[in-house]
Amino acid sequence: MGLLARLVVGGVWLWAGLIKLPHPEASVTAVRAYQLLPLEVVPVVGRALPIIEVLVGALLVLGVLTRFSGLLSALLQLAFVIGIASVWWRGIAIECGCFGDGGAVAWEKARAQYPWEIARDLGLFLLSAYLVWRPRTAYSLDNVLFPESKG
């Protein structure tokens, strides 16, 4: 279970981050589209997110500091859920910008997507939270770096 959670969540993070990594300016547009954060911090957040996503994904897949990376992953998913719920609530129609794209779309399309995006992120949140609760998983680097003390 723990191993599966790590690979699923970590794999999604790696995928999402690697798609966005080559286009930092597009990532900034995606973050701006939420019209939520103060404008001054948006460029930094937009440029940092893909990098953080790749790192969290790599840590989870390898199983390094699982409790810490699981916590980071859970907090990020929670932030995304809040972000999507907020644009839905305010009637702003955007692509979530989760995997590359991002920016304005037709309202009908956006409204149809929001529930699924929130459900997906909540699922990933639960898997991440599980790893915070039970960070010891099979085939993780943690087992090598921090061996369970005997006795």
Partner 1 sequence: MATKPSSGDRATKAAAIRLEHDRAERKRKLGLMAGVIATIAVIVAVMVWATQKNSGSVELPKVETSVGDHSLKMGPDSAPVKVVVYEDFLCPFCREFEESTRDFLLAGAQDGKVQVEFRPFRLLQDEYSLNALNAFAAVLASDPQKALAFHDYAFDEQPYEAAPNKPTISDLRGWANKIGVDKSVTAKFDTVDQAWVDAANKAAADAKITGTPTILVDGKKLEGATIAEMADNLEKLIAAAK
Q: Which is nearer to partner 1, 7 or 48 (CB)?
A: 48
Write down the least CB distance from residue 43 to partner 1, Å.
7
Site residues (vs partner 1, CB under 8 A): 22-26, 28-29, 32-33, 35, 39, 43-44, 47-48, 51-52, 55, 59, 64-65, 68, 90, 92, 100-101, 103-104, 145-146, 149
∠ CA 27-18-118, nearest 5°, is 65
Which residue's CB is nearer to partner 1, number 29 or number 128?
29
Residues 6+ apart with CB under 8 A from 7: 60, 61
Q: How far apart are CA 1 and CA 129, in angstroms?
A: 13
Tell the smallest beta-carbon distance from residue 65 to partner 1 (Å).
6
DSSP secondary structure letter of residue 104: E
CA distance 77 to 125: 5
Work out how close the CB of 29 gets to partner 1 at its nearest, in angstroms, rounded to a whole number: 4
Would you call 36 helix, strand, or coil by DSSP? coil
Q: Which is nearer to partner 1, 138 or 145 (CB)?
A: 145
Instruction: Output the smallest distance, CB 126 to partner 1, in A.
Output: 24
Residue with tokens 């997507």: 113
Nearer to partner 1, 86 or 119 (CB): 86
25 vs 111, beta carbon nearer partner 1: 25
We find the least distance from the C-beta atom of residue 108 to partner 1, in angstroms, to be 19
- 49 Cβ partners below 8 Å, 6+ apart? 17, 20, 27, 31
